[in-house]
A = this chain, B = another copy of it.
Amino acid sequence: MNSRRDFLQKLGVSALALHLAPVSGWANSKNNNDVAYDGPVLRVAIMGLGGYGTRVAEAMQSCTKAKLVGVISGTPSKIKDWQSKYGIPEKNCYNYENFENIKNNPDIDAVYVITPNALHHDHVLRVAKTGKHVICEKPMSVNAKQGQEMVDACKKANVKLLVGYRMHFEPKTLEVIRMRKAGEFGKILFFQGQCGFKIGDPTQWRLNKQLSGGGSIMDIGIYAINGSRYMTGEDPVWVTAVETKTDPVKFKEGVDETVQFEFGFPSGAVASCLSTYNMSNLDRFFLNGEKGFAEMLPSTGYGPIKGRTNKGELTQPVTVHQTVQMDEMAGIILEGKQPVVPVDGNEAVKDLKIIDAIYLAAKTGKKTEINY
């Protein structure tokens, strides 16, 4: 059991460094069995075995405090695949008809809901009733009203509700937040978030409003929205927005293609953001203060985050975001750890209020107040 720990100590590699920057092979070689950790482990079932669910499952293989132990899916063949891939026992496999039975399963602590946005509300409410903790992918739902209902339901059921804000645990992002809090940028004046990619298959659920609840804002724009808050340390109080649609066939009514939006913050700081499904090369955060600046480029992609400030390049370690997220969320749920930036349901409701306001502002063309 101790051979790996000894080996790492000889190499001068701290457990923390390994944790933040898992080296492929080692951390992946065995699942939670040979690492120097003997605390509680969060046993997680993933609901929704699509692209992102798969990414989370893979990342969880390197977790210390969290372990993938169950699945919920409507597709039996996917369940079979995951069972053999991740060693998931039959008794921890559910479908959308029977997953309420999870309440009787003592081997599952939490369910990570990674289904299409518009289904989160129903799924989270149903998971909450089982008494299991809930992790929900962002956006937590498709509007603030639904979001608040989810928060209330989890509170009533006395379960934790966390949301997949993986960037809240990313080391370079956290360093910029630390610098901002320490006043190293001076008074914050401006944030820019440019988030976009060119979306492919026109038949995918993300382009179906019934499932997605919207368009690019719901999927990629939310990074600029949430980022504007953790980068500035403030919540916007007004928004203006303008939508542009070049392909109304691919992007149907209610599915935004490109939205430019601006925020005003209580301090007088402002933000300019772009959310789009129609262009690549857009993944930049820029924070500007009276005494300095930070640029993250790329800022939220799955790969390595890069950044620089007026003091130079950011050198914090590269992580697999979802690995760190799940370990940290285990700490929050099992040990009451407090993250630097909240990842709970209330945090998500704020983003949903902003999204509501962006869509309203884009529709009316008017500067729209945001009340929390």
Contacts and interface: CB of A to CB of B under 8 A. Distances in A.
Interface of A: 189-190, 192, 194, 198, 240, 242, 244, 246, 258, 260, 262, 264, 268, 270, 272, 274, 276, 278-282, 286, 288, 290, 292-293, 310, 365-367
A176 B240 CA distance: 31
A365 B240 contact: yes
Given A244-B268, A282-B288, 17 more contacts: A189-B278, A189-B279, A190-B276, A190-B282, A192-B194, A192-B274, A194-B272, A194-B286, A198-B290, A240-B242, A242-B270, A260-B270, A260-B272, A272-B274, A281-B288, A281-B293, A365-B367
A279 B187 CA distance: 10
Given A262-B260, A274-B190, A288-B279, A366 B365 contact: yes
Tallying the copies of this chain within the complex gives: 2
Contact of A270 (B258, B293, B366): B258
Contacts of A246: 268
A276 B367 CA distance: 19
Contacts of A198: 290
Nearest to A188: B279
A280 B292 CA distance: 8
A273 to B, nearest CB: 8
A240 B258 CA distance: 15
Contacts of A288: 279-282
Contacts of A244: 264, 268, 270
A280 B278 CA distance: 31
Contact of A279 (B190, B260, B274, B367): B190
A274 B242 CA distance: 15
Given A262-B260, A365-B240, A279 B272 contact: no
Smallest CB-CB A-B distances: 6 pairs = A246-B268, A189-B279, A281-B293, A260-B262, A240-B242, A244-B270
Contacts of A192: 194, 274
Q: Which of A192, A198, A258, A279 has the most CB of B within 10 A?
A: A279
A270 B241 CA distance: 13
Given A190-B279, A278-B189, A288-B281, A242 B260 contact: no
A281 B310 contact: yes
B268 A242 contact: no
A280 B189 CA distance: 10
A240 B262 CA distance: 11
Contacts of A274: 190, 192, 272
